[in-house]
Amino acid sequence: MAVEIPYNYICVEGNIGSGKTSFTQMIHQEYQCELILEEFKDNPFLPLFYQDKERYAFSVELFFMTERYKQLQRQLLNQDLFQQFTISDYSFIKSRLFAKNNLIEEEYRLFVKLWEVLNNPFPKPDILVYFHRDVEILQHFIDLRGREYEKLIKPEYLLQVQHTYFDYFKNILTFPVVIIDLNTIDFVKEKQHYEALKHLISSKYNPGVHRISLLV
């Protein structure tokens, strides 16, 4: 049963393989809201990055950032007034966080200057939801979707991504960040799991970090 979603702009974030895209698609299908999905498949540097991180990190992050910027400018700043709300499987901060994780210091400083200019017109999310799963579970889901280049992703890299997100969340005071532990949850196959997760994102939260273990 549909519940009222009290937010205009929802960002669903998470580590690689956490299920954020599947969930946002399910919400879109139920509510017919505006949907923003990251177009990562178009990045020609991504397979090369997993083979040689140091050589291709700046190229892959710069490409991602410019593509995210163009997409958010097109969809977020020109919203359909007849849509109930907008849900996205990423936020623009993702570019900065992955760059911090992947780039050397000199490259990162340059990247941040570019990011700050591009980020300026975008509104903050009304709520940022972070799907958390342990690395072993992430790897299971990554294996299931069968992308050849993702087979090169190491557990250490997934842990680094997780730590980068959590460090960022510590300083968020202007909007709610809801970290949801989903280790035992399969909301794609289990309808009651999806309903429970949907009710969590329909709740109202104060600004700052909230951590919830979803038990069903």
Using CA of residue 51, residue 54, residue 58, residue 64, what is the dihedral sign? positive
Q: Give the DSSP per-residue string, 33-47.
A: -EEE---GGG-TTHH
**Is the CB of residue 145 less than 8 Å from the CB of residue 194?**
no
pLDDT digits (tens, 9 = 90+) for 102-128: 999 999 999 999 999 999 999 999 999
Q: Region 139-152: what's the mean pLDDT?
A: 87
d(CA 84, CA 132): 27
pLDDT digits (tens, 9 = 90+) for 160-194: 999 999 999 999 999 999 999 999 899 999 999 99
**How many CB atoms lie under 10 A from the CB of residue 69?**
19
Exposure pattern of 99-127 as b/e (b: 16+ CB <10 Å)?
A: bbbbbeeeebeebbebbeebbeebeebbb
pTM: 0.92
pLDDT digits (tens, 9 = 90+) for 49-97: 888 888 999 999 999 999 999 999 999 887 665 668 999 999 999 999 9
Domain residues of the chain, as ranges?
9-213
Query: Which uninterrupted H or E stretch holds 159?
Result: helix 155-169
d(CA 93, CA 54): 22
Question: What's the CATH fold of domain 9-213?
Answer: Rossmann fold (3.40.50)
